[in-house]
Amino acid sequence: MLLGLKGGDGGEGTWQKDVSNLFLLLIFLFHLIFTAQNEEKRNLELGGHVGFDSLPDQLVSKSVAQGFCFNILCVGETGIGKSTLMNTLFNTTFENEEASHYESEVHLRPQTYDLQESNVNLKLTIVHTVGFGDQINREQSYKPILEYIDAQFESYLEEELKIKRSLFNYHDTRIHICLYFIAPTGHSLKSLDLVTMKKLDSKVNIIPVIAKADTVSKSELDKLKIKIMSELVSNGVQIYQFPTEDEAVAEINSSMNSHLPFAVVGSLEDIKVGNKMVKARLYPWGSVQVENENHCDFVKLREMLLRVNMEDLREQTHARHYELYRRCKLEEMGFKDTDPDSQSFSLQETYESKRKEFLLELQRKEEEMRQMFVNKVKETEAELKEKEKELHDRFEQLKRMHQDEKRNLEEKRRELEEEMNAFNRRKVAAETLMGQALQGCSQQPFKKDKDKKK
């Protein structure tokens, strides 16, 4: 063999010669590896049309046939105009129950609709935060929202980890965009707004919008926008920035980033302005046109959200927010990536170790519960014995009282019997005397009559 080292009969010279050959061979191998790594890819000229340039068209046809999904989370106080803006945004009337201001806690209400525009099908899910900001104690108002977002991530991860996956027809309910509605009152953000957006920025793409912007003057609106962005930056809140990497949309996205937060107005009412019908809100002093960029930023929001950056929002949700959740979840389960410097690991071994840890933890908890049950039984037995002793003492006491009362009653009965006997004797004696007296009285007249006759 070329790499075999011979010893014994060959002597020292043969051994040194083999080592030298091995060293030269290693140098040659390193040279080959280095040359292969630095070799440029070859470019070939095709003799004619092959057809793989139609691959983008194939992907488009497949995507159109499969359809798309888009999920919007609307966060804002009750009555701020979330449903109206959604109706205006998609130029339709969604079924939605009017919420009251008397909700005891925040709960999320998702509603899914199938929309079609041209030949593109869209499964749209709109999630409303019912009761948000209506409680006296708003400290935990953001928790139901976080729990809902994590629940959608968890559902997708469970589908992804299945042995038989069906992600191609899986209804993806992960939130792609959060429209945070800011009330146009006051001079800055509320503490509830800052806390909620700070908790949500690592979970979902956030676009802040100033609702009912027609209630604020133009100059006040500009100051409010500057104040809101300043507070978001100073508090470290990361809102969604429209991407500027793609040259086709870099200019418009860069321009729109400077208009955040969008000041919007929603309305489905058609009003005649000039010679055409437009969607607007009519006031005694005039009208506010929804699609007039001089009146509000509704058109900017619709363009950025639906026409230009919808796919980027979906991609950011999967590549950034979901991947962060997935990584943290898998790390909690004990999985890890293999680095060149670290040893490889087996999924089976990781599963077995985690299973053993879980069983040990389960046994420990069972032992704790068993011990707790034993202690509780002992405490209950001690309490029952104490109660039994108290009842026995009470019974003995009542028994003695009963015996004393019985003796007293017997004595009283004997006394009454003696009194009755004495009374009966006196009565008999009195009746005897009374009879004798009556008899004596009746004999005296008889004797007198006798004497008279004589």
Q: What is the pLDDT of residue 234?
A: 92
Which run of H or of E encompasses 376?
helix 347-453
Instruction: Please indicate whether residue 413 or residue 33 has the higher confidence score (pLDDT).
Output: 413
* Mean pLDDT, rounded, for 57-68: 84
Is 70 exceeded by the pLDDT of residue 27? no
Which pLDDT belongs to residue 23? 56
**What is the per-residue pLDDT for 83?**
87
What string of DSSP letters covers 168-218? GG-------EEEEEE-S-SSS--HHHHHHHHHHTTTS-EEEEESSGGGS-H
CA gap 7, 233 in Å, rounded: 74
Question: 70 falls in which pLDDT band (50, 70, 90)?
Answer: very high
Q: Dump pLDDT digits (tens) for 110-129.
A: 999 988 888 888 899 999 88
Q: Where are the chain's structural domains?
A: 62-266+297-333, 352-413
Q: How many CB atoms lie within 10 A of CB 422?
A: 10
Q: What is the pLDDT of residues 208-251, one digit of tens each?
A: 999 888 888 888 888 888 999 999 999 999 999 888 888 888 88
The pLDDT value recorded for residue 269 is 82
Q: What is the mean pLDDT of the chain?
A: 82
pLDDT value, residue 374: 92
* Joined tokens for residue 3: 């790499």
Domain 62-266+297-333 sits in CATH at 3.40.50.300
Residues contacting residue 106 through CB under 8 Å, at least 6 positions apart: 129, 130, 131, 132, 135, 141, 143, 144, 145
Picking from 105-114, 220-229, 267-276, which range would have the lowest pLDDT averaged per residue? 267-276
Residue identified by tokens 């920035």 is 241
Whole-angstrom distance, CA of residue 259 vs CA of residue 256:
5
Least confident span in 227-231, 305-309, 347-351, 425-429: 347-351
Please state the rounded mean pLDDT for residues 70-99: 85
pLDDT value at residue 148: 93
